[in-house]
Amino acid sequence: MGRKAYPQAERIYITADSGGRNGLRVKLWKVKLQNLSNELGLTLKVSHFPSGTSKWNKIEHRLFSFMSKNWRGKPLISLAVIVNLIGATTTETGPKVKCVVAYGEYKKGIEVTDEELQK
């Protein structure tokens, strides 16, 4: 989606929280970011928010209240319901919402050695 909107882009700025799989010290996260950079031919810059402060993420902050209003307590009974509710979210002046499911297999327990990380 970004390629179409910003065809001349040379870099991507990513904000992430510090917990879970995208944490500051997670080797696999770093390796996958480098793979993405290589694949896209773009420079990636990442800033991590301190733990528990993801509310500072401007996109999340601007969208979550609108998504909550759109859901209005509807039961989230299936993936299709969730995707449709998120995708139907609108904001008055802010970002446009698009929601898709990333189907694929995500292997668990992948270990990255120090040597792999250095590459």
Tell whether 95 and 75 lie within a shared domain.
yes
Q: How many folded domains does the chain comprise?
A: 2
87 vs 96: CA distance, rounded Å:
9
The token duo for 21 is: 């799989």
Indicate whether 83 belongs to any domain. Answer: yes
How confident is the model over 65-101, as pLDDT tens digits? Answer: 788 888 888 898 999 999 999 888 888 776 778 888 9
The residue range of the domain holding 3 is 1-53
**Mean pLDDT across 49-64:** 72
* Close Cβ partners of 75 (under 8 Å, ≥ 6 residues apart): 81
pTM above 0.75, yes or no: no
Tell whether 82 and 35 lie within a shared domain.
no
Indicate whether 116 belongs to any domain. Answer: no
Tell whether 25 and 72 lie within a shared domain.
no
Tell whether 40 and 85 lie within a shared domain.
no
Indicate whether 118 belongs to any domain. Answer: no
